[in-house]
Amino acid sequence: MPELITLFVLVAIFIALFKELVSPAVAFLAGLAALVITGVVSPTDALSGFSNDSLITIASLFVIAKAMSNTINLNAIAQKAFGKSKNISAGIARVTIPVAASSAFVNNTPVVAMFINPIINWSKRHNIPASKFLIPLSYAAILGGTLTLIGTSTNLVVSGLLVDFGYEPFSFFELTKASLPLVIIGLGIIIWLGPKLIPERNFADYDNDEIEKDFVFDTKPRADLVGQTVAHAKLRNLKSVFLAEIVRKNNDVVSPVQPDTQIRSGDILRFSGNATSLAELADHHGLTLVEDKHARKLDSSSVYVEAVVGHNMSMADKTLAEIGFRAKYQAAVLAIFRAGEKIGGSLGSIKLKPGDSLLLVGDDHFVDRWNDRNDFLYMRQIGKAKTNKKANALITATILLTIGLILFGVPLYIAALSGALSTIVLKLLTTSQARNAIDFDLLIMIAAAIGVAGGVSSSGLAEVVSSSIIDYFGVFGLVGLLLGVIIATTILTEIITNVTAASLIFPIAIATAVQSGGDPRMFAITIAITASMSFISPLGYQTNTMVYSAGGYKFSDFMRMGIVLNIVTTLVLTILLAWYFGILG
C-alpha cells in the first residue's frame, strides 16, 4: 500500500512538472505533504532535506556567481580569446574550451550569460553567424559543469542525497575521473561537427538581408515626415533595421514597402532589426514610439534593455497585460523576439514563452533593480559596458579563496559560505543583492525533493521499480543496469529539470545497485553526470534556453547536434564507469 501511494504522488508530481501547472517547488512540497499526511514519510524525515549541507553550498554559490556577473566584463577578454581567425571550427574551439573549464568551478548559467554578447559582437565584426557558436557555448557549459562537485547544482544535490542515504558525499574531484574524458570527447565532437550540423541563423529567415534579428518595433512618423516618400525620409537602407510594413489608418497593410511609398498621417511604421539599432531608431529619423496598452511615456533618462524570459511561472504563457508588466517592472516592452517566429501586432496580447527576448525601455536604474532577481534568465543594457579592474581582482581572489579552502579539506559548505560572505565584506555585493541572488524556490524544491526521495526508498517503491529494471536490463549484467539508469535519467532530464530528474531517479538507482550487488557510488556518479546532459531540447536546461533566443534558433536546431551528443555520451559514460568500477572483463 505505501508503495502505491508513493507511486501516485510521483505521477502527480511528474504531471504537474511536465504540464507546468505549478512551480517545481510547489509540486514537490505538495507531494511531500501528501506523503506525510498518508504516513509514508515521518515529519522528521520530511524535514531532513531542509537541514542538508548542500542547500547552504548552493545558496552560497548563487551569491558568488552573482558577484561575478556584476563584476566581470568579458568583452575585452573575449576578443583576445576568440582571435581574428574566421575558421568556424577554430572559433568554436576558442569559445568552448575556456567555457567548459570555467563551468567546472563557477555555476554555468552566469558563465553563459557573460559570454553571449561578446560572442555576438565578435561574430558581427568578423561577419560570421553567431548561431554557429551559441549552441556550442551552451553545450560546453553543460559538459564543464560535470567536472567538479560545484560545477552545477545537480552534482551537489546528488551528493546531498548520498549523505541522506547513509553514504559519504562526493569529494571535490570525484566526478572528474569519469567526466573529463567525456568532456574531451564531447568538445571534440562539437568542434568537428558543429560547423556542419549547426545551421546559420541570421536571427530570422527572411528574404531581405537587412534583417539581423527579428524584433518587431512599431513607430509613428512625426508631422514633418507626413507626405514624404520612404526614400526621401531616409528610412531605406538603415543599418541593421528593415522597414517591414506600413499599417495605414484604415488598417490596410503596405508590404513590401517601396522607396516611393508615401508616408501618410496616422501611419504605423513597423520596423524589424536588432535591439541596438532599433533603440537608436527611436531617437532619430523623425519617429516616435507607438505605445501599446502596457507601455508608458518615455523620457530623456530612458535606457534600453534586452531581457530573456525564463521558466518563471509568473511570466510564462501569460500576456503582458495579464502580468501587469508596466506596473510590476516599471518598464515598457517595445518588441518581442521569438526564435523562428516573427512577432508583430499588439504586443499586449502575445503570450510570453521561455526563451523569448524582450526589448525593454525603462529608467536608468532598471538593470540594477531587477538584475538581482530571478524574473529573467539574463539581461543586458544596450550600449553599456563596465570595467572595474579592482572589482575583477577582488572577485578573482574570492573564487581562489573558495577553491583553496576546499582543496585544504575545509567542508564544502563552509568554504562556499566563506566565499559568499567575502563578496559582501569586499563590497562586491550589498546584503540585499546577495539575498536576492539566491534562488529560494530552487532551494525549497531541492529540500522537498530530498524528502520525497526518502519516501520513495522507505515505502518500498524503489525496490519494486529497481526489480523491474533488473528484470529488463539485468540480462546484460551490471553494464546493462548502468545503461538502463542512464537512459531513464536522460529521458527525464529532457522533459523536466535536471535537478528533479536526479532526485526522482536517485532512490531507484541506489535500490538497483543494492539488489544487484553493484556499487551504489557508481550509480550516483551516473545520475549526477547524466542528469546534466540535456542537449536535445532548448527548454531542458537553462543555458540552452538562454542561447535559444539569442541565436535565433529553431527548436529542431538543438536536435541535430544534441542527438549525436546524447548517443555518444551515453555509450562513453557507460563504458568508462564500467571500466573504472571493474565490471568490464
Q: CA–CA separation, 112 vs 102, rounded Å? A: 10
Q: Both 77 and 154 in a single domain?
A: yes
430 falls within a domain: no
Tell me whether residue 255 is in a domain.
yes
Q: Which of 188, 554, 514, 531 is nearest to 338 (CA)?
A: 554
Q: How confident is the model at residue 207 (pLDDT cuts 50, 70, 90)?
A: very low
542 closest CA partner among 109, 95, 100: 109
**Structural domains of the chain, count:** 2
| Pairing verdict, β 241-247 and 268-273 | antiparallel
- Alpha helices (runs of H) in 127-208, residue ranges in sequence order: 131-144, 153-164, 176-197
Same domain, 272 and 191: no
Across the chain, mean pLDDT equals 81
Cβ 52 vs Cβ 164: under 8 Å:
yes
285 and 171, same structural domain?
A: no
Choosing from 381, 397, 421, the residue where a domain stops is 381
Residues 476 and 551 in one domain: yes
Q: Does 461 fall in a domain?
A: yes
pLDDT per residue over 296-350, tens digit each? 444 445 677 878 787 666 777 788 878 888 778 878 777 777 765 556 556 667 8
- The reply to whether 44 falls in a domain is yes
Domain presence at residue 151: yes
Among the listed ranges 97-106, 380-389, 415-424, 456-465, which one has the minimum average pLDDT value?
Answer: 380-389
Given a cut of 70, is residue 286 above it in pLDDT? no
pLDDT at 81: 64
The CATH number of the domain holding residue 247 is: 3.30.70.1450
- List the domain range (segments joined by +) for residue 22: 2-200+437-580
Where b means 16+ CB within 10 Å and e means fewer, 205-237 reads eeeeebbbbbbbbbbbbeeebeeeebeebebbe
Residue 155 sits in the same domain as residue 44: yes
Judged by DSSP in three states, 336 sits in strand
How many CA atoms within 13 Å lie on the side-chain side of 451?
Answer: 31
Nine cell digits for residue 407? 582543496
The phi-psi region of residue 303 (left if phi > 0; otherwise alpha if psi is between -120 and 50; otherwise beta) is beta
Which residues touch 309 (CB under 8 Å, ≥6 apart)?
315, 316, 352, 353, 354, 355, 356, 357, 358, 376, 377
Indicate the DSSP class of residue 49.
Answer: G
CB 434 within 8 A of CB 423: yes
pLDDT of 204 > 60? The answer is no
One domain, residues 235 and 362 = yes
Q: Are residues 238 and 153 in the same domain?
A: no
Q: Is 196 in the same domain as 221?
A: no
Of 363, 381, 399, the last residue of a domain is 381
Q: Is residue 519, in this structure, part of any structural domain at all?
A: yes
List CB contacts of 211: < 8 A, sequence separation 6 or more: 202, 203, 204, 242, 272, 273
What's the confidence (pLDDT) of residue 240? 63
Task: State whether 229 and 195 are in the same domain.
Answer: no
Identify the band that residue 209 occupies on the pLDDT scale cut at 50, 70 and 90.
very low
Please, are residues 195 and 237 in contact by the beta-carbon 8 Å criterion?
A: no
Determine, yes or no, domain membership for 555: yes
Q: Give 293's pLDDT tier (boundaries 50, 70, 90).
A: very low
| Residue 282 domain-assigned (yes or no) | yes
| Residue 223 sits in the same domain as residue 297 | yes
Instruction: Say if residue 120 is in the same domain as residue 246.
Output: no
Q: Render pLDDT for 512-570 as a digit per residue (tens, 0 to 9).
A: 999 998 899 999 999 999 999 989 888 778 788 778 877 778 888 898 899 999 999 99
Average pLDDT, integer, range 194-206? 69
Cis? peptide before 256, omega within 30° of 0 = yes
Residue 203 has pLDDT above 50, yes or no: no
Whether residues 188 and 256 fall in one domain: no
Statement: residue 57 has pLDDT above 60: yes
pLDDT band at 164 (very low <50, low <70, confident <90, very high): confident
410 φ/ψ angles, rounded to the nearest 5 degrees = -70, 135
**Alpha-carbon span 198 to 303, nearest angstrom:** 34
Q: Is the pLDDT of residue 385 over 60?
A: no
pLDDT digits (tens, 9 = 90+) for 129-149: 888 999 999 999 999 999 998
Last residue of a domain, one of 381, 398, 417: 381
Q: Are 10 and 31 in contact (CB under 8 A)?
A: yes
Residue 470 pLDDT > 50: yes
> Where does residue 383 fall: left (phi above 0), alpha (psi -120 to 50 degrees), or beta otherwise?
left
Q: What percent of the chain has pLDDT over 70?
A: 84
Given a contact cutoff of 8 angstroms between Cβ atoms, the answer to whether 499 and 449 are in contact is yes
